[in-house]
C-alpha cells in the first residue's frame, strides 16, 4: 500500500473511482460523497501530502484542469451556473485525505450548500 492515502490507490487503479479526466500529471474523479451533484476532485499523480510538498507547476496544472472541468460542468447535464473551488490544507483547515486535492463543486440556485 502507498503510505499516503486512498487517492494513491485510485491513481494506481487499485481502488475504484469514476474517473473523468486524466493526463500524465493529474487525475480527476467524482467525489464519493458529493456535496452537490457533479462534485469532482482533481489530484496530482505524484503524491504530495499538502501544499508544502506540492510542486508549484503541478499546482498550476491542478487549477488549469479544474478550470476546464468547471466549464465542462456548466455545459453538461449538471448545468450548474456557478462553481466553487476548495482546497483544504492541513487538519485545522479540514483536510481529511492527505494527498493534495482540489474540490470542484458545481453550484445551482437553491442547492442548499453553503460554503
Ligand atoms: P478533504 O476534507 O480532505 O478536503 O476532502 C476529502 C474528500 O475526499 C471528501 O470530499 C471525501 O468525500 C472524498 N473521498 C474520501 N475517500 C474517497 C474515496 O475513496 N473515493 C472518492 N472518490 N472520494 C473520496
Ligand 1 pocket list (CB less than 6 A): 6, 17, 29-33, 41, 88, 94-97
What is the distance in A from the centroid of ligand 1 to the CA of 75? 24
Q: How many other CB atoms sit within 10 Å of the CB of residue 95?
A: 17
pTM: 0.95
Domains of the chain, start order: 6-107 (3.30.428.10)
What is the distance in A from the centroid of ligand 1 to the CA of 20? 15
Active-site residue flag, 101: yes
pLDDT at 3 over 90: no
CA nearest neighbour of 40 among 13, 58, 22, 59: 22
pLDDT tens digit string along 34-80?
999 999 999 999 999 999 999 999 999 999 999 999 999 999 999 89
The per-residue pLDDT for 2 is: 43
What does the angle CA 53 – CA 59 – CA 65 come to, to the nearest 5 degrees?
145
Amino acid at each position: 500500500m502507498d503510505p499516503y492515502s486512498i487517492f494513491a490507490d485510485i491513481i494506481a487503479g487499485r481502488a475504484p473511482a469514476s474517473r473523468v479526466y486524466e493526463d500524465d500529471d493529474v487525475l480527476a474523479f467524482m467525489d464519493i460523497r458529493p456535496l452537490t451533484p457533479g462534485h469532482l476532485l482533481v489530484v496530482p499523480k505524484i503524491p504530495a501530502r499538502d501544499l508544502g510538498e506540492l510542486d508549484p507547476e503541478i499546482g498550476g496544472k491542478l487549477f488549469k484542469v479544474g478550470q476546464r472541468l468547471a466549464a465542462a460542468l456548466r455545459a453538461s447535464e449538471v448545468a450548474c451556473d456557478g462553481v466553487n473551488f476548495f482546497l483544504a490544507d492541513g487538519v485545522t483547515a479540514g483536510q481529511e485525505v492527505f494527498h493534495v486535492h482540489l474540490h470542484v463543486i458545481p453550484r445551482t440556485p437553491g442547492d442548499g450548500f453553503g460554503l
